[in-house]
Amino acid sequence: MSIFGNPITLGGSGSTPIIELTDGVIHVLAPADSIVTISKGTVTESFSGLEHVADDTFDDYYFIIKRADFNATPWTVEATLGNETATEQVVVNYPGNYDIEMSFRNYIYKAGDTGGWTNIAWKDTSSHTATAATSISFANDKFTITQGTSHSSITYHDAKVDLTEYSTLTCDVYSWNANADAGNGLYILSSVASTTVVYPSAAAQYQDKVGTGSQLITIDISALNGEYYVAIGTVRTGSINTVATINSIYLQ
């Protein structure tokens, strides 16, 4: 049944506005009990549940956009449930239904986090000296690891993460100035210990970074079950420090 011309209950408020044929409707399918917010400029609308439940797992969320608000500027749609979030954008510039299915991310590191990671020296398969990083820091909504020259280390998340329900692990890199030095990348480890060989054969999964600029490093973890450490390896063979700056690390 079309939702146009029919009443729906918005935001659990009990109101039942009629959706007009001239309206745009952002229809969001998100995991049950999510809080879904749409925003554009100074306008924000947030709903924590609507009248229609698709099944035991997902809820439908409807946001009515009036014709006067149609333009090419996108609405940002965000869904949150516990520690998991998902964000999408949609442009509403014509009447009709705009369907969005939210894919949640479980963030291991995100902007605003200020700790929870440990750096240790480790020995890779080359002649690098196993030496802890010069520093790890959390500032300007980013996570930065500085590695001294001819040295190698691993920075791992303190708590193991259960990967059973996820298919990918992604590191959103802001910048990473090391050149082609092998060992710079994203690791999944079953255990961590200083100076042990972990590059890359001892890693459950490993993926090199590519180049020095912004990028997404993604690992297929669909075959992994159980708890693992997520880690970042930093190696430097040249004459200047390696500096890896991370926007976020998340599971999907």
Q: What is the CATH number of the domain that holds 97?
A: 2.60.40
Compute CA distances 124 → 56, 111, 195, 235, whole Å: 48, 30, 8, 9
**How many whole angstroms separate alpha carbon 92 and alpha carbon 251?**
29
Which pLDDT tens digit goes with each residue over 41-98?
Answer: 877 766 544 433 444 567 788 888 888 888 999 999 988 887 778 888 999 999 988 9
Whether 139 and 53 map to the same domain: the answer is no
Whether 128 and 230 map to the same domain: the answer is yes
Which pLDDT tens digit goes with each residue over 104-154?
Answer: 888 899 988 989 999 888 765 555 677 777 889 999 899 999 987 777 888
DSSP secondary structure, 51-110, as one string = S-B-SSSEEEEEEEE-GGG-SSSPEEEEEEETTEEEEEEE---SSEEEEEE---EEEEE-
Whether 175 and 153 map to the same domain: the answer is yes
For the chain, first and last CA: distance in Å?
32
Could you tell me the two tokens for 133?
């990083």
Whether 149 and 124 map to the same domain: the answer is yes
Q: Is residue 10 part of a domain?
A: no
Whether 132 and 171 map to the same domain: the answer is yes
**How many whole angstroms separate alpha carbon 78 and alpha carbon 215?**
23
Q: Is residue 3 part of a domain?
A: no
Range(s) of the domain holding residue 211: 108-251
Q: Tell me how far the alpha carbon of residue 150 is from its chain's centroid.
A: 31
Q: Is the pLDDT of residue 160 over 90?
A: yes
Q: Is residue 229 part of a domain?
A: yes
Whether 98 and 203 map to the same domain: the answer is no
CB 155 within 8 A of CB 220: no
**How many whole angstroms separate alpha carbon 215 and alpha carbon 248?**
11
Flag whether the pTM goes above 0.85. no
Whether 150 and 188 map to the same domain: the answer is yes
Whether 117 and 238 map to the same domain: the answer is yes
Q: Is residue 12 part of a domain?
A: no
Nearest Cα to 122, choosing from 204, 192, 227? 192
Count of the separate structural domains present in the chain: 2
